[in-house]
Structure 1
């Protein structure tokens, strides 16, 4: 009996792990409903809420360890942690994330609900609500949302400009639940097919309007290894790479990646900054650079238009836990000291900041994994006509992390109806259009400048106007209705 139970949990973990292939770089989105079917089956067939939570945890552990395995690279290869310790931290982080699908599964078995609706509606809604909680609690970590797996071309991606990726994930899971509940029913297959066909139709809707002529852009990928980027002996060479790439660029807007200058702006020799401006030759040069604040201990992961001092600087507002700040230093301070990461302990910028004004372009900046947070990116609308991401994912070099983040940038472009420009250190540098399609990109780990065109867009998608509010209301009303009906039916049954 115990052996069979253990085999079932291992099967659920493997089912969760298989989801990694549904995301970039493979984009096999149809694998996601198959993986989710395992979670639904395990949660619905469990004999008790505790057994359901355990099944949900097993699935979640496989899901998250497979999708965030690259944390091991940053801790071991670049952070200097022993392999066993880095593997343990990665496993613990995966276990923490797995608590969310476990909570959804346990509640899905405990809450009163009509049995016919438990699998196709209650469990999917709780799962997606737990995803939103995961993306919000303790600053949030919404990496590998199930809806992102459908971006940019699977039919359900058409709902992203309306309900965001949370809504896409909910529709995906509801459709999966409908089929798992009665997979032999032609009517249910027809309903799910109609849902997907409607999404395909929405993919062809133009939610925003192009304005003006296409803008020529140059996106630099410096390809400086992580162990060289912050090494003082390579500082001059790193600055030289920036200068060479600015001189090579041909676009009207030239973008250098996150912390392209690996020092505080105030500490950079003025002659070098003047040389960069001269190399830009009257074009806009936008780059990532650490910025010091007014207080002695305030500094920011920032971006600025170097060629126009009148422009406001952008200060990153959503920081990476354990990378840019340490939550609960009394508990995790040892990790902060052990890794000795450069420029940790950043301060947060304001939640809403004005875009850069470059001719007709209103360019809204986001840095590193800020493009994982759909509702925060949408805060730049309607003022922004284009989005730009500055990243340095050399911490995870050799993994799928950069490709996964590119897919999330594609989701943000589709949700907002805006082009997303991505300038990264080692990849993935790309131009993404307003439909989430990659127009041009550079191979990873290659030093080059991506030349292309981007189009300014105006107008608002439904998601750009209301962000996550509609889907959250749908979930709340769905849960209240299901529980209310379940309680009433229990009372009627108990009265006899």
Structure 2
């Protein structure tokens, strides 16, 4: 067993194993969905951190994070190189810095574990403490510097028994149960004695069978009749989206594809489908709305909203119900560099990537009302906003339907858009509400209240998706309390871990 000790101990072999282990989590998520590899990924990290000092653990955690983010989000290279016009070397450098920076969060987590929280004796407390610290890390990563809530462990269970816990505690509860499962399976101290092994087995059965049972509970109820919807996927090339010479073609394409759908309750155009400021496109939008109203159809579209109320021009990434004044939503969670440039005065003009078209959006208010359409309240999320669990839950609780519009053209044929779809499915499960998901080039889909895709169309094709959605009402536990109960429980457990560790270290 000497080779196992060498892998777990400090040195390049353990660090290399950590990089490989981090990459396994990506394979557990969409589009691969090999979820057992996610358990193996966490189990390996848990084991290779055990004998290390805080400094050694920080390096190993960083290596694990490097494997995770290099395999899972390096698709940002496409947006930097192809659409940001950076050379391959520069795009690779910026992508590497992005990945390495994200991995620092895992390094911090490992340092805290080894220096402050890891019990002196491995066992139950070690497994529970590590799982709680992991959830704290995910919550922190979704908040720090506006957040990057991507590649959470809980997302790998959108189609497993654990998905039953989504309406109870959201994706972070799924992450907690995932990591706890992995740590228990990987902790020899739990399985050495029969009573402890029996307790561990009972707990694991309770978690997984409990999730299966919860999947059969309906936390929400239908509200009114189903709505017919048509989602227009125009597949506008990103390179032509903001080209003034291409705007008329874009508007004509959306118009013609929409008229071809016939009478439906809702027609949805994707993010910034109208590539013209609202004040300039208002006549077009109102005319379209009036024509659709004659057949009982409501048009919802993405559009840049310009505002002069503060005495200066502010432009927002918006979604509006056409022909209904003030019935719009302004995006709050902006994508760095794509929609705004941090340290703008320093970075603007250095390279083309820092001067992308429409990268000067203003941030919309944190608290806004849902959209009103077809007699229902719709919780709107623009692109990136659908990946923020608590942010989405706040609006969903006031609505009967979810609607998200997006433009994932930035990421080409990578796995990024498929990961994005998986997170949208989780939002539907958490809220117990159907989701309308309209995109420029995919994945355009209708998702039911249990996260199942009821209809979709292929990526990278000019098509319309027709289907039905069922408005629903009622609040499940997560929609009612969001992550507060879980966060409090995590905090209590981590505090208990610190206290226990200090007691064991005190001389007798």
Query: Normalising by structure 1, what TM-score?
Result: 0.94
Single out whichever of 330-339 and 207-216 deviates more from structure 2. 330-339
Tell me the CA shift for residue 200 of structure 1: 1.2
1:134 equivalenced with 2:155 (yes/no): no
Residues 246 and 276, structure 1, Cα contact 8 Å, conserved in 2 = no
Single out whichever of 191-200 and 286-295 deviates more from structure 2. 191-200
Tell me the CA shift for residue 18 of structure 1: 2.2
Cα distance in 2 for residues equivalent to 1:342 and 1:240: 22
Alignment match, 1:469: 484
Cα distance in 2 for residues equivalent to 1:270 and 1:333: 34
Cα distance in 2 for residues equivalent to 1:278 and 1:360: 19
Tell me the CA shift for residue 5 of structure 1: 2.3
Cα distance in 1 for residues equivalent to 2:435 and 2:307: 28
SS at match of 1:226: coil
Describe how 1:183-262 pairs up with structure 2 within 5 A: 186-187=197-198, 188-250=200-262, 251-262=264-275
Q: Deviations over 1:379-436 (max 9, x none)?
A: 1143200010010010111111111111100111111111111000011100011111
| Aligned residue pairs, count | 490
Tell me the CA shift for residue 169 of structure 1: 0.3
Describe how 1:4-403 pairs up with structure 2 within 5 A: 5-46=11-52, 48-111=53-116, 113-116=119-122, 117=124, 119-151=126-158, 153-182=159-188, 186-187=197-198, 188-250=200-262, 251-268=264-281, 270-271=283-284, 273-275=286-288, 277-279=290-292, 281-294=295-308, 295-309=311-325, 311-329=326-344, 332-333=347-348, 338-403=353-418
Residues 243 and 279, structure 1, Cα contact 8 Å, conserved in 2 = no
Shift in CA distance, 335/362, structure 1 to aligned 2, threshold 3 Å: farther
Cα distance in 1 for residues equivalent to 2:350 and 2:419: 26
1:429 equivalenced with 2:444 (yes/no): yes
Cα distance in 2 for residues equivalent to 1:34 and 1:391: 33
Tell me the CA shift for residue 296 of structure 1: 2.8
Structure 2, gaps ≥5 residues long: 1-5
Alignment match, 2:453: 438
SS at match of 1:57: helix
Cα distance in 2 for residues equivalent to 1:339 and 1:111: 40
Shift in CA distance, 79/62, structure 1 to aligned 2, threshold 3 Å: same
Query: Normalising by structure 2, what TM-score?
Result: 0.92
Cα distance in 1 for residues equivalent to 2:163 and 2:93: 36
Cα distance in 2 for residues equivalent to 1:160 and 1:279: 37
Cα distance in 2 for residues equivalent to 1:381 and 1:232: 36
Alignment match, 1:490: 505
Tell me the CA shift for residue 262 of structure 1: 0.8
Tell me the CA shift for residue 331 of structure 1: 5.4
Residues 292 and 298, structure 2, Cα contact 8 Å, conserved in 1 = no
Structure 1, gaps ≥5 residues long: none
Shift in CA distance, 137/336, structure 1 to aligned 2, threshold 3 Å: farther
Residues 75 and 339, structure 1, Cα contact 8 Å, conserved in 2 = no
Tell me the CA shift for residue 184 of structure 1: 5.1
Tell me the CA shift for residue 308 of structure 1: 2.7
Cα distance in 2 for residues equivalent to 1:244 and 1:487: 70
Cα distance in 2 for residues equivalent to 1:245 and 1:91: 41
SS at match of 1:147: helix
Single out whichever of 471-480 and 334-343 deviates more from structure 2. 334-343
Q: Deviations over 1:215-242 (max 9, x none)?
A: 1111111111111111222111111111
Single out whichever of 333-342 and 122-131 deviates more from structure 2. 333-342
- C-alpha RMSD of matched pairs (Å): 2.0
Shift in CA distance, 336/114, structure 1 to aligned 2, threshold 3 Å: same
